[in-house]
Chain A
């Protein structure tokens, strides 16, 4: 999965990178040998559990699993199925809805981080701890709690809506609302994560900029758009890359919130829940493998596009 070292770590890396390395030349045989020994355990683990499986999945994607074991070569049949199957198109569409809702989390988190950055504001660490709480909570538990809140007959969401005179709904079993209901829970559980990234980003902006802008008569809104947003753009870029990667792999909440008999099941299925269904419930490993490659292409493609277009809006100081 993707990783982006923090700016602090990256700076530290840059610092040491400038130094020349030569002292290790002493006794190269011994150092080399121990270096290999240091790397051996994890290299073995990667080989067995990551690299070999990657090749195998690639092979699987061109085969069909027999009921009694053994796989037969079927060429591009699995990929053809992936491209033609309407449920894949549906899952792709749902996944893009989750991604769009995930991206909506970012502006919310930016505004919250900006509010928490108000000079002299008290209780910031309490707010931060509370907003972050859902992110560390077991997703299975989060799904169950929200199913209860969304319950059509006794749920608190309908209860709260009735106060302002809005009619209740069966949020997670109504095909027209279920995907948004689940997406909302994703937003709820992730906003604290992005908040932490943006708080760190805003803290790194020199206070003088704000003071200078204030002296020049810039109001809070103007300061937000002219100072905070541009100087936060590296953090926003980082967050949006992470957000796209994570949203495209949604599984836990959908799996937990949607029972197998839910009428809205089809309209909430993501690529990964479909993958799970094909691979482990319908015994269609070849199709699942092809689907996984489609997902990887999607992730790689969207990540590439983001890196490609970052020059247009990301300002590195």
Chain B
């Protein structure tokens, strides 16, 4: 979504400032401050020592930007491994959804086959069921497969998404029919038409789906808590929660941990903001 070039903070030509615009900026900046301050305070606290963090009155900037809290995070817990688990979980779910959802979405959107409507209704019902209703048996299945406390346990159920299928289906449906017909006359098979002609045309939708799936996977907490209780197999979301149990009120360590844990998604957001916004605008809730 293109926007006029942002030049925040610069007042519109001093001298003849429209009071309405000024008031709007005042309200929006105040709100932005409320949005941003917790992040600022998290960052500043992470670089303080424990005694400095509880000094009265509080210091705003850290006195000497201490990094001890960060090394403590990595020694107290297998934090690096947890970050790796989160990355693999995110990768597994995202790739899985891109492949499985796009295949099914293409079939539902562009192919005729018997039982299509019934199958589609079944897919629709998957969409309506809250995750909590499935977790107990899902846990049991993972247990039977001998996958508790493993990385595949984190991403297995999340690779299949009804939401992703619906999202991509809408985009496939919007493509002109002539493309496929021309390819078919040239003798291309269904898989080839799908892979080299149709899939590239829905790239924006794939990007949006990838980005929001990545976000939900990185941030997911309930499912990892259920299947991976061993610290070395936990993703960072659950790992950070267990850090809290160890350093109850040692806020520099907790802030350092939470900063490290949320940073990858923040970086992805800064790099791919457009896709985040698009993905969110397209989606209703987590999927």
Query: Chain A residues in contact with chain B, CB under 8 A?
Result: 1-6, 9-10, 12-13, 15-17, 19, 21, 23-26, 28, 30-32, 34-36, 38-39, 41-43, 45-46, 48-54, 56-57, 60, 112, 115-116, 118, 120-142, 144-146, 148-149, 151, 153-154, 156, 159, 188, 192-193, 196-197, 200, 220, 238, 241-242, 245-246, 249, 251-252, 255-256, 259, 272, 275-276, 279-280, 285, 288-289, 292-293, 295-296, 299-300
Contacts and interface: CB of A to CB of B under 8 A. Distances in A.
B16 interface: no
DSSP majority for the B interface?
Answer: helix
Contact of A57 (B136, B141, B156, B160): B136
Which of A30, A242, A292 has most B Cβ within 10 Å? A292
B167 A5 contact: yes
Contacts of B39: 133, 137, 145
The list of the 7 closest CB pairs from A to B, nearest first, reads: A45-B160, A12-B174, A123-B8, A53-B137, A141-B258, A9-B170, A125-B3
B230 interface: no
Contacts of A251: 221-222
Contacts of B238: 140
Nearest to B128: A2
A131 B133 contact: no
B6 A285 contact: no
Given A35-B107, A36-B113, A122-B8, A127 B41 contact: no
B53 interface: yes
Interface string B268-287: 01000100110011111111
27 contacts: A3-B167, A38-B194, A39-B108, A41-B103, A42-B103, A54-B137, A57-B133, A57-B136, A60-B137, A122-B4, A125-B3, A125-B6, A126-B8, A127-B28, A130-B35, A131-B32, A134-B35, A140-B221, A141-B262, A142-B262, A144-B244, A145-B42, A154-B58, A193-B280, A197-B280, A242-B284, A272-B222
Contact of B32 (A127, A242, A249): A127
Which of B10, B171, B248 has most A Cβ within 10 Å? B171
A237 to B, nearest CB: 12
Interface string B93-119: 000000111011011101111101001
B141 A53 contact: yes
Contacts of A139: 219, 221, 237
A287 B112 CA distance: 44
A124 B3 contact: yes
Interface in B52-69: 53-54, 56, 58
A252 B136 contact: no
Given A6-B281, A12-B171, A36-B113, A118 B21 contact: yes
Contact of B241 (A23, A148, A255): A255
B119 A39 contact: yes
A188 B31 CA distance: 10
DSSP majority for the A interface?
Answer: helix
B112 A1 contact: no
Nearest to A220: B20
Contact of A19 (B116, B177, B244): B177
A141 to B, nearest CB: 4
Contacts of B189: 34
Interface residues of B, number: 121
Which of A144, A251, A288 has most B Cβ within 10 Å? A144
Which of A42, A122, A193 has most B Cβ within 10 Å? A42
Given A3-B284, A57-B133, A145-B38, A129 B273 contact: yes
Given A1-B128, A9-B167, A280-B226, 8 more contacts: A1-B131, A3-B167, A25-B112, A39-B119, A120-B21, A192-B35, A292-B132, A296-B130
Contacts of B10: 122
Contact of A133 (B31, B35, B181, B248): B35
B2 to A, nearest CB: 9
B255 A145 contact: yes
B170 A13 contact: yes
B193 to A, nearest CB: 10
